Each structure stands twice: as structure tokens, then as C-alpha cells.
Amino acid sequence: MRDDSFSFKLKRGFGILMMLAFAVFAVFPILWVLILSFRPATQLFVPIWETPFELTLENYSAIIGTNFPFALLNSAITAGASTLLALLLGIPAAFALSKSRLSGKFLASWLLLLLRMAPPVGFVIPLFLIYINSGLIDTYAGLIFAYMSLTLPLVVWSMWTTFNQIPNEVIEAALMDGASIWKTLVKVMIPIARPGIVAAAILSFLLAWNDFFFALIITRSETVTAPVAVMNFVSYASVDWGAIAVASIVLTLPVVPVIILANKYIVQSLGGAVKG
Amino acid sequence: MYLKTTRRLMAAALAGAMALQSGAAFAQEKTLKVLLFGMPSTIGLQALAGDFEKETGIKADIEIIGQDVFENRITLSFAGRTGDIDVVHTPAIQVQRWVEAGWINPITDQVDALEDKDDFLKGPLEAYAVEGDTYALPFFAEVGLLAYRKDILEAKGQQPPKTWDEMLSVAAAINTPETAAIALRAAPGQGFNMFVFPALMWAYGGKFFADYPSDLTPAINSPENLKALQVYIELLTKYGPQGVGRFNFPEIVAAVQGGQVAMTVDGTSITSQLVDKEKSPVADNIELALPPSGPAGRFPPIAVHGLAVPSDAKDPEASFKFIQWATSKETMAKIALNQAYPDFTRASVASIPEVVEKYSGIQPNFLDLRVEALNEARGDYRPLISTWPEIGAALGENINGALNGLVTPEAALEKADQEVSDIIDSQ
């Protein structure tokens, strides 16, 4: 059905305009930072239209000599590991919550969510003291464990709803054919729930990747992550805007292809559609 | 079948966790943990850590972080009494507060036992005296100087201003749309606008308190302070660059280096960047001079940084050994030669020929100028009391508000006075 009426065209035009405005609003700061990252130190505060050809790769080469690449690696290790571990533990947990007839499962899931209800600043001091006394401060294990308090609830809750949408008959059929519960999960449920898993994985990776607070408190020189390392470009008598711009861009880059590639999964998952 | 898989998974997870743990244990050798924030002198010190190990056999793990990260880190570490910092960077304006909180230990006896104690500049060393005890040794003392474009002043037939009143007339004479006459720190903060504004306050005869340190009744809303604030506002709003109401030191450095501003008064850590030939296109035209004075005298801004031993440090003697090494004549001289570090705190370093040669490249009388300004600076330029961080923040906000026209200067000082009074009373 085509609607050629004027009011429809007006509405659609308005919609496009709104979307464009929002896109500019969202993209403009990133563009600005991107331009800054290619500007030499002396031109950082000069408008780009006054000296449009004063560009340099100096900021990028300078940052290689700092500990930022190392911090980026730390971010990748800890965000990746905490996501993997959360999937490993969270998917079976969500499966059990969704499909078993356990008593008290609502209590269990609620307790899990409790972790996310409390703002991190509320439990930072005890967490910090436990970490100091158990030697977990400035270790990968410590940071990964802390990030799992972010990623695990997300995985369990999002996978729980995903599994709920898969009819019980699918499981019954698998069991009927002689599959064990594990085999049913691994061979039947996980393939069906793949869009949900991808979405949960990406969202939890981003949660850990972008974290500043935990890393600020429980990392030191050995495991410092990129969001904290950026702050080190702000020093006593100078602020290295060029380095900060480069760091921000580099910190954003790995996320972009992931989002684009996984876009359809995320939309599917959040939209609630499950294809058999 | 699935049990086996589970076991294998668990074994793998455990092995992984243990591998991560052992890596961490390896890093936890017995070393001195030194926590500093980033500035040329600390970067220079970090590069020399090997020398310390060679001399004493003690390994020093010097970590340099941003100032904000630093604040968070020490607050948690000290409040949690974790003992994971052996030597800590101690700004002089924080020392009263840290002593009150019991975060750092006195090192009076060790300092008094130093043979060359008198070599330390008196003002910076005294900044660390709290109730008769010494709590840190200074490694950095920067002092405010006037930096001006001599080409611009000469072109307009102007002499560098000796007083803040002259500053007004010089600014009026040289101000052009392309190059604003002056920029001063304006962003609110005890270390931002409140690093520079007290220079005007003191110069016009103003003060913070009725009779510091015995009577801490605020004296912020005095006619002298009002005069100072009016001059500060007139300078910046009439003769400052666009957006100066939000300027902090990075913007000032950029604006002067970029030729958009002709004069500033700021610390040597800033002015030394303006005369740095590698970074500053206008370096050859920048001349440094003593900061302007007023009816009550000259009061150069001053900032001192030192090294202290946290009260939960595991081996305080080793910690002091590090401080002694880091503030020794030899170490300071090396850093002065390797970095932009004219802010050393030992008088003898200024007479080492190589050091003299390097810094006379900036301007023949640069080191003398610095010492002269340091000698004139008062140690309590910013009051040495534990509530200064809050007081400085309150004053900074109100002064910035007046500069940006949100309130009148009178109302700003009245409000600041009330806020300071509340902070003192809540003690």
C-alpha cells in the first residue's frame, strides 16, 4: 500500500530530518576528536578551516612509545576473558533457570540482579580491601573476576529470556531422541539461541571494555586498562590533547566493526525474534 | 560424558586462573613502590631509578600516573591502610590534611641528620613543617613569573609592567583583535584560578583571614580583595582572548605559543614551556620577568611538591633512603640537565656550570630571576591549613562566577566569605 498523501510525506520528511539531526549529534563529537588526533600540537586550538592542511601522524607515532598499547592489550584480555567466562557460566545457568522446575529460581536470579542494582561505589571499599588482602590487586584474575560482576548478570538475564522463547517441545524432542541434557544444550539450544548469545557477548564485552571505575581502583602498572591509561595524559603542567584524541579514537575503533557485523543479531535479540 | 566435559572445563579454567595468578606473584617482588604524578621532574626521576638500585641495592618501582588517578589511588590506599605505597608524591598544599588524617609519618630526625640540609631552599622546606615536625622533602618548587612578548611590547613602545596597575595600562596599549594582551588562569579550582588570583589579592593588601594562623575569621569580603578582583576581571574581560573565562594552564600555553596572547603570569612549569624553542614558535620573543607587584608588595605564586613516607609504609627507613637519593644534589642536577626542570629545590644546583649554561639559554638571568621570585614568595601564599582544598574550591568557583559575569564582584566575595566561614565552622 502506498500512501502519497501530503501529510504522510510531511511526516516522513520530518522523520528523516530528526534522524539526520540525531546522527549529526551522535557523530559530530567523534569526528571532532578524529580531526584533533591528526592535528599537530601547535594547531590543536586553531579552527580546522583556518589551517586545513596542517595534519600530522605525530600523535599516533608518539602514543606507541607510551604504555597505552600495553593498556589496550590489558583491556582486550580482561574484557574478552570476562565475557567468555560469563558465557561459559551464564548460558548453562540461564538454561537451567528457563527450563528446569527448580524451586527458588526466582530468588537466585534476583540475587544475581542485586549485584547490578547496587552502584559500584557502594561496594568499592570492601571489594578493594578484599583484593588487597588476597593479593588480587593488579592481577588479571582480579580484574576479570570484578568484570564478571558486570557481565554475568547481563548474560544470565538476557539468555534467560532468549531460552524462554524457545518452545519446550524442542527440548522434549531432543531428549526423546536420546540426547543428554548437556547435549541438548550444546547441540540444540545454543545453535537456536545464537543471535541472543552474540548480542549478550557483545554487550558484556562493551560493558567491560568501557569500564573505568573498577580498573581505576584495582589495577596498577601491571594491568592498567586503556580507559584509565588515557587519564595519564593529563599531567601536572600539561594536557596532551593530541594523545588523548588518539587514545579515544583507538579505544573506539575495535568496537565499531563488531557492532556493524553483529548489528543484525543485536536487533534480533533485543527485538525478541527467534528463528528456528 | 558431560561430567567429563565439565571436569575438563573446570580444569582448564583453574589452570588459566593459576597461570594468571603466578604471573602476578612474579611481579610482587620486594621493591619500593613509589607513586608520583606526571611532571617533567618525576619523569626524569623515573628514568634514573636504575641509579638508585646501583647505589643502595634497593629496587624502586616508580609509577607515574595522572593527577586525578593519583588522588583516587592514594585516598583508597591510605584510608584502607593497605601499605602498598612506600614513597608518595606530596603537594605542599595537601600536607596539613594528610598529617591530620594520619596518612604520613614525620621524618624530622632523618632530615635534621642530613649534613646538607641547609642546601634546601628555606621556603619550600618549611612548607612541610607541621607543628614542629618535618613531613616531606621538597623536590619541586615553581614560582610565578611574568612572561611577555618583547616584540609586541617594543612595537607599542611599552615597558614590561612592574605593577598590576601598570599591567592594566600596558594591556590597554598592546591589545589587538589578533593578539589579546593577557591571559591568566580562570578555570575554577584551588590549583587553577586560585594559583594566580592570590597574587593580586596579596598585592592589593587583601588577605584570606583576619589574622592567620591564630584567627581564622574569613576576611574575603574586604575592599582590598574587591579591588584585586576588579583588576583581575578588567584585565581578562577587556584585554583577554575569547573564551578566557574558562582558560586553564593548557589553554594559556596553547594561546601564547600560538601567538594569540602576549602576556601571562604563571608558574615556571608553564612559562618554561613558552620559552621552549622546540615546542613554542614564539620562544625567541618571550621574555621572563618578576611578576607584577601592588601597593602591598610583590607576591609571586608558589607551588611546592615533595616526597613523604606513608604511615603504613612497610620499611620506612628504605623509603627515606629513596627520598634522600631523589632530593640529592646529584639526582636533581641530572634531572635539571635531562628535563625541563628549573624547579629544583637545592641552592647548590643553581651553581653547577652545566645547569647554569643550559638555563641561561632561555634567558641569561633566568635562574637568578627564579631564585629572586622564590625568595619573595610567601610560604603561606595559599593558607597552609587542612581545609584549604575546600576553601580554595569555594573561592575559585565564586571568583570564576564573577569573572564570567554571573554575579557582581561584591556578591561573589560576600558569598565566598560566607562559604569559607561555613567550612571553618564545620571543622
- Domains in chain A, CATH or no CATH each: 6-59 (no CATH), 66-271 (1.10.3720.10)
Q: pLDDT category, A2, cuts 50, 70, 90?
A: low
Burial group, residue A111, by CB count within 10 angstroms (0-12, 13-18, 19+): exposed
Of the partner residues B67, B69, B80, the one whose CB lies closest to the CB of residue A128: B80
Of the partner residues A85, A139, A236, the one whose CB lies closest to the CB of residue B24: A139
Q: Which residues of B touch A44 (CB under 8 A)?
A: 254
A234/B258 Cβ within 8 A? no
Of the partner residues A137, A141, A236, the one whose CB lies closest to the CB of residue B38: A236
B21/A128 Cβ within 8 A? no
B80/A125 Cβ within 8 A? yes
B287 membership: H or E segment, kind and range: strand B286-289
In terms of CA atoms, which chain A residue is nearest residue B282? A42
Q: Is the pLDDT of residue A273 over 90?
A: no
Q: Is the peptide bond before A167 cis (omega within 30 degrees of 0)?
A: no
CA distance A212 to chain B (A): 11
C-alpha cell at position B34 = 613509589
User: What are the pLDDT digits (tens) for A190-240?
Assistant: 999 988 999 899 889 999 999 998 999 899 888 999 999 998 888 888 888
What does each C-alpha distance from A175 to A119, A180, A189, B210 come to in angstroms? Answer: 42, 6, 12, 86
- Residue B5, chain A, CB below 8 Å: the answer is yes
In terms of CA atoms, which chain B residue is nearest residue A88? B9
- Helices B353-360 and B329-338, packing angle to 10 deg: 30
pLDDT at B289: 97
pLDDT at A83: 96
Beta bridge partners of B293: B163
d(CA B380, CA B123): 9
Domains B31-141+303-376 and B145-299+387-425 share a fold: yes
pLDDT at B2: 40
B66/A233 Cβ within 8 A? yes
Please give the ipTM for the structure prediction: 0.77
Could you tell me which CATH number the domain at B145-299+387-425 has?
Answer: 3.40.190.10
Of the partner residues A88, A216, A236, the one whose CB lies closest to the CB of residue B72: A216
C-alpha cell at position B310 = 606513608
Domain boundaries along the sequence of chain B: 31-141+303-376, 145-299+387-425
User: What are the pLDDT digits (tens) for A34-87?
Assistant: 999 999 877 777 778 888 888 999 999 999 988 899 999 999 999 999 999 999
pLDDT at B9: 43
Q: Which residues of B touch A137 (CB under 8 A)?
A: 84
Could you tell me which CATH number the domain at B31-141+303-376 has?
Answer: 3.40.190.10
Of the partner residues B21, B40, B250, the one whose CB lies closest to the CB of residue A239: B250
- Residue B37, chain A, CB below 8 Å: the answer is yes
Q: How many residue contacts between A and B have a Cβ separation below 8 Å?
A: 101
Of the partner residues B38, B251, B270, the one whose CB lies closest to the CB of residue A232: B38
Q: Which has the higher per-residue pLDDT, A120 or A88? A: A88
Phi, then psi, of B90 in degrees rounded to 5? -130, 100
pLDDT at A120: 76
Q: Which has the higher per-residue pLDDT, B319 or A116? A: B319
Q: Which of A46, A143, A236 is best to mutate for the B interface (most B CBs within 10 A)?
A: A236
A135/B79 Cβ within 8 A? no
pLDDT at A226: 94
Considering chain A, what is the average pLDDT of its residues? 87
d(CA A60, CA A62): 5
B20/A238 Cβ within 8 A? no
Q: Which residues of A touch B20 (CB under 8 A)?
A: 139-141, 144
Place of cell 588459566: B16
Handedness of CA B35, B37, B38, B39 (dihedral sign): negative
Q: In 10 A of CB A223, how many CB atoms?
A: 27
In terms of CA atoms, which chain A residue is nearest residue B5? A182
Pick the closest to residue B426 from B391, B382, B381, B392 (CA basis).
B391
Q: Which of B1, B4, B20 is best to mutate for the A interface (most A CBs within 10 A)?
A: B20
B163 CB contacts (<8 Å, ≥6 apart)?
A: B203, B292, B293, B294
Of the partner residues B25, B68, B80, the one whose CB lies closest to the CB of residue A132: B80
A41/B279 Cβ within 8 A? yes
pLDDT in tens, chain B (427 residues): 343 443 444 444 444 443 444 444 334 446 899 999 999 899 999 999 999 999 999 999 999 998 888 998 998 899 888 888 999 999 999 999 999 999 999 999 999 999 999 999 988 999 999 999 999 999 999 999 999 999 999 999 999 999 999 999 999 999 999 999 999 999 999 999 999 999 999 999 999 999 988 899 999 999 999 999 999 999 999 999 999 999 999 999 989 998 999 999 999 999 999 998 888 899 999 999 999 999 999 999 999 999 999 999 999 999 999 999 999 999 999 999 999 899 999 999 999 999 999 999 889 999 999 999 998 998 889 999 999 999 999 999 999 999 999 999 999 999 999 999 999 998 7
